[in-house]
Amino acid sequence: MCPVCSAKVRVRRGDQIAEGVGRHLDNGGAAWFITVTLPHEKGDALKESLTALTQAWRHVKTGRAYQHEKKSFGILGDIKAVEITHGENGWHPHAHVLVLTARPLAFDEMCAWVGRLDARWAQGLAKVGWPTGKVGVRLTVVPVEKGKGLAAYITKVQEKGLGNEIARADMKDATNGNRTPFAILADFGNHALADDLELWWEYEEATAGRSAIRWSPGLWAKLMPDEDFGTEEEIAAEEHEGETVAVLTPWTWRRIRVIPGAEIAVLEAVEAEGWHGLLQTLLAYRIGIQGVYTAEEWASPGVVDIAS
């Protein structure tokens, strides 16, 4: 529920995922990036759709077919992350699942496996009384190849890697007018709309007691036996001191906040390029650099003018 604590936990979990999967690939194993989604309408309650998502995926992982795949492919386990967005068609929960196998699969083997996974996913949705959706949309599978394609995109955790793609749902920009829960919360903070507050309350109630990121039992010990997993409480309590790159006057920050995309662009520029990145971004958005000071200037008497 806390944007600050959640970000700290997700950064750590993303790093752990990238490290664990990287080790597995280095040791000759393979990984598969599976995305499962379910049809949704504006009237669907988030709690019900999350339950359907969970139960349908459980159906995929039970029964003789999955046991045969575990033995044939050497499935070590999986890491599942649930993402939630909201848009014109209501709540849209979906899951990303990293499945780790002991060996790569031949192309025909992979195609047959994807077909079976898709069929079981559709069966699972139907079993819980949910529409099955469309083939090619409800379930997709992408092989993870270290050093190229998704894997380079994968070994990021901060912005561009697999760890973040799995763990950092809070950091992603939803598309087509959709919003993440924290975006809804931010919009309520900025505009105080009752509809946004009701959506946030529904999100709180629906996700209570649920895990956003879950490793299957025993997988951590197989991949990272020499590392401490760490509890969410321990990670959230850690203090991360940073460097003061710049100090902005309140009215300068308000100008940044009202321009779509500027706030994220400024923060990313400072993270990547420091002071010069900040100035370039402010000029690019035609905000200007008045009201922007270095830490030394801010601490010097008579230098700062905070008048609006």
> In this predicted structure, what is the pLDDT of residue 165?
57
Q: From 9, 19, 10, select the one nearest 235 (Cα to Cα).
A: 9
- Of 153 and 229, the structure prediction assigns the larger pLDDT to 229
What are the residue ranges spanned by the domains of the chain? 3-227, 247-299
> In this predicted structure, what is the pLDDT of residue 10?
86
3-state secondary structure of 225: coil
Q: How far apart are CA 169 and CA 183, in angstroms?
A: 11
> In this predicted structure, what is the pLDDT of residue 239?
82
Burial of 158 (0-12, 13-18, 19+ CB in 10 A): middle
pLDDT digits (tens, 9 = 90+) for 19-71: 899 899 999 999 999 999 999 999 999 999 999 999 999 999 999 999 999 99
Category of 165 on φ-ψ map: left (φ > 0), alpha (ψ -120 to 50) or beta: alpha
> In this predicted structure, what is the pLDDT of residue 230?
93
Confidence of residue 147 (pLDDT cuts 50, 70, 90): low
Confidence of residue 169 (pLDDT cuts 50, 70, 90): low
Record the pTM. 0.77
> In this predicted structure, what is the pLDDT of residue 259?
92
3-state secondary structure of 187: helix
> In this predicted structure, what is the pLDDT of residue 307?
59
> In this predicted structure, what is the pLDDT of residue 103?
96
> In this predicted structure, what is the pLDDT of residue 155?
34
